[in-house]
Structure 1
Amino acid sequence: MIFDIQPTNSEDYSETYAGLPVAAPPFDEEEPQPDPGAVAWRLSACEGDEFEEISESFDWFFDNVDTEKVKALVIGEWEDCYDTDSAAIIARLAGNADRLPELRSVFLGAMTWEQSEISWIQQSDVTALLEAYPRLERLEVRGGSGLAFPPVRHESLRVLRVETGGLPAEVVRGVGGSDLPALEHLELWFGVEDYGGDSTVNDCDGILSGQRLPSLRYLGLQNSPFADELAAAVAAAPVVARLEALSLSMGSIGNDGAEALLSGQPLTHLRRLDLHHNYLSDAMAERLPAALPGVEVRLDDRRSREDDWRYVAVSE
């Protein structure tokens, strides 16, 4: 199946997440508290709000909610998120795993650009969540500064999304070196070197081989300044044969990358090819969908090709 996940970095998940309506405590005394398992709980903190520290938000949550029924958590803004990393939040969640036996979905860092630019969000080693929650099915992270993802094995994870304006190469290699037998949707936003994005196409070898990702159906290698090189690697990658959807969107792909895709292994088995935010010529934009009948080809948000400078959709 294809998970229909097409968010932007301006989405704060204040209304819905993981198919559930979002509930953001605290509630008015006269407002009935929702069924703990029927909503995604959004925990955040900001100066001037009811909770000025994220620990206070967690305190309220664990004191007032039957957490044994909770299925989804959205962690939004925390105090000084541009100076303070997510390690304490992850430790709090990991240390209370026994109180959240039904937790299946977590978004860590659901902030809009008004709250914090994506590359200012300080993250940490997020694999502790996977180790603490062996039944977790969905993990999404926004922000690449300080982000770590050493290789892990996790039997249940189905969706892994990492949104950054600069993705460390070690994270890409860590994901590629992880055994994730249930993973169906993998999405990485690479970003640029100025914000920590030191990845290269070679760092994607473990992912493109597909050896540790037998269930993968959606692959998004997105927001990349080396999208043409990625396209050339994807054109010969073993993992592509099992995909239903492929995205090289939000990046710098141009005619060379599109030509590589058309000249490589067949892509007609795909249901969707997403190349939005691209640098394709008019002729190539016509040629691609004609060469892939039956495939939904997304080519909107085409950029000017008047000069050699190309930019990704999300950086700072």
Structure 2
Amino acid sequence: MNTNRSTTSLLLSAAEAAALISSGISLWIAGDLNILRKLPKGNWIGGTIPYFQIGGAGLDERGKVLAGKFTPLAGSPKIQNYDIVSISDICIDAPGHGYTHLILPAFSAIHSHYARNAIQFPGMFIQPVVGWVAGMHLSEPDTPPAVIDGQSGEIFTERALAMHVPLPESHDARIEIVNNFEQGEGDCIQFPESGFSTHKCIIGNKEVDFSTWLQSKHADLKMPLVADYCGAMVNVSFKGIDKSGRVDFYAPVFSGVNYRLAKEAVENTNPTSLADADFSCNCILNYLYRKPGIGHLSEITGPLAFGEIAWMLLNQTQVSLVMEKPE
């Protein structure tokens, strides 16, 4: 298989983005809401995030947007918004040959619903679903993350937006997941209930207070929990511990799943070949917790999001979409 670079992510001024939209190109756009809401109508979807990864460095930029083109195409991409009822049809609505680019607003009901239930949606994992979770500037935590339908100009804080992208038969879309973490050698951790928060966990068949256990292990909450799904390492990042001892996460933990505290992955998990991916995003926590450009942010360009989507919701993970052209 030969990779064929057909999408370019561009850091643009508002005027440059407006000109690109007016040219009729189908786009995804990430940026501050104050810019996104002023852009002209067109075939684009957007999400609020002012943090970008440009090459191996992170950027906090509220005066520009990051845009990516959807090409090559076999017909016009279709924009569709979803609520917590209709989102289960996202794979049914997908093109027969192509992929879906999805943007979710962070901390919304649909964000939570998708994180808990996406793996059970009809048709999931048959066609690629890739995307990211919109957020807000960290200096404004009370500002609700939003997604924008470029065709209608509508702004949603409780709906998801998708661009269903049909591909010509000459191209295939492949999702690559890069995780800098793997399971450590410590205790196996289970949870009595699924959810974004917990007071209790199960260790050695005994239910214990999770925050107390974390403190006893001097756990670094910048390191996620990691579950091993048949060899695929899936992270759940810590959001924090409140005054009552409740432990909060950026993605749900699931009952019956074995987790361990993370350690750094031994292998080099930042392949340079993904620098030319058609779409990439990385987790904002990898930007906040790591030193940009020192082996932890690979040479990609894309949003530094509040979550990454590779079919299911991921944390502290880099996700890329690579277009392949069969020989």
TM score, norm. by length of structure 2: 0.28
TM score, norm. by length of structure 1: 0.29
Higher relative contact order (CA 8 A, sep 6+): 2
Structure with higher strand content: 2
Structure with higher helix content: 1
